[in-house]
Each structure stands twice: as structure tokens, then as C-alpha cells.
A = this chain, B = another copy of it.
């Protein structure tokens, strides 16, 4: 896959690579035309860079064109919780887009590229392209079900289940957006990030990861997630696999 680098030119919507991702529902000609006018620019985000900060009022709305990012909240005393991961096609800053300050930060796990849209023209989108508006609501609802699962994972799964669950979640989400290969998803999460996602301490995350490795359930190294027996992993994690209709994207 030819990755765009920091210096590559802005991708016109007409050539949007997301149009050809198997897990995403392509836009119509008409919709692409509109999006081309709606799109204000593009933002390159370096791996590990923070794209948005908690508390700021963002004048923009974004969607992920390339790469993987995560949303996180930090408490005043420094405790951090990663709440969600953003894959290609996901919207960023919808919450903040409704005039209130952003209640979470956004950071890139991989090198990433996001489209920038104008917030003040957002209502217009609903007026002139109801289907796109519907899709926005659809995406928001989908994020919500994703959070539901994350929450039950943190609230009700054991440490091992949680880690296996997270590996599967990322793996499958990557597969739906064309990032996951046959058995591997190339993504570099630190153990601190894993810990902050599933609500464990770093030390215990480390020990649990080792146990999972020994048990041959998942192969999670510094730079990739490997799952050799998908079915076994799903059962181990008690992953709630669901038939997904292809996602829309903006």
C-alpha cells in the first residue's frame, strides 16, 4: 500500500482512497462533489503526535483519511483513559463540533492524515444532503455501540479477557478498513496505552500480556498484533462478534 508522506499533496475527494475500501460504503458522484466543496483541507499528524487537546473549542470537524488515532480523557491528577480508536472513515470531533469545548484529546498511533471540514457549514450538510446527515448520525450511533462494548469489557471482563478483547477489536476494525493482513495488524501500541485502554496498571498489563503470549492466544509485540486462530481468540475473549453492515464514511 502506497502511504502518503507528510509532503504529499492534498488528496482531492474525487480520488478518495476510502471509496475502494471493502468495509466502507462508497459515496455517490453527487455526494463526492459536495464533499469536495465541504472539505477545507487536510492535516498530517505524525505518529505519536497529539492532534487535538482536551478543553479546546475546535472550529473544525475532521474525518480520518488514513492511519489510526485514539481519543482519550485525562483527569486532573494525571490518570488517563483511552476511550476509543479512530480508523479510516471515522469522524473526529463530532462531540466538540456542537459548540462545546472538546472533552477529550486525540493522538495518532500511526502516521495519520485527516480531512478538515468547516464546522459552520455542518448544518448545511444536513440540509442539502440528508443522506450524508443520516450517515453522520449512523456513525455516531456506531461509535456509541463500540463504546458500549469497550465499557462492558472494562467493567466486566477479567484482565486476560480484556487484553484479548482489545487485540481482537483492533484486529477486526483494521480488517474492516483494509489495514489488517491475513494474520497481522501492523500497529505499535505501547503497553502504557494498552493499560490506559483497558483500565489496568502498566505492570499488570505487562504480566497479563506475557501470560497470553505463553498461552498462544494472541501474539502482541511492540509493533504488531498477530492472531493465528481467530475463532479460538474470539471464544477466549468472549468477543461479541456481530455481522456488520458496511460503514458509511464522510
Residues on the B chain within 8 Å of A71, using CB? 148
Please classify the interface of chain A as helix (H, G, I), strand (E, B), loop, or mixed, using the class held by over half of its residues: helix
Instruction: Tell me the chain A residues, 61-78 only, with Cβ under 8 Å from chain B.
Output: 71, 73, 75-77
Residues on the B chain within 8 Å of A244, using CB? 100
The verdict on A198 contacting chain B, using a C-beta distance below 8 Å, is: yes
Partner of A133, one of B101, B103, B137: B137
Q: How large is the interface on A (under 10, 10 to 19, 20 to 34, 35 or more residues)?
A: 35 or more
The verdict on A229 contacting chain B, using a C-beta distance below 8 Å, is: no
**Interchain CB contact under 8 A, B134 and A199:** no
The verdict on A156 contacting chain B, using a C-beta distance below 8 Å, is: yes
Please measure, in the bound complex, the distance between the C-alpha atom of A101 and the C-alpha atom of B131, giving whole angstroms: 21
A27 to B: closest C-beta gap in Å: 16
* Contact flag A243-B103 (CB < 8 Å), given A81-B156, A130-B130, A199-B154: no
Residues on the B chain within 8 Å of A238, using CB? 75-77
Given contacts A98-B138, A122-B134, 15 further A-B contacts (CB under 8 A): A73-B148, A73-B149, A73-B152, A81-B156, A83-B147, A83-B148, A100-B245, A127-B130, A130-B130, A130-B133, A137-B140, A151-B154, A154-B155, A155-B198, A155-B199
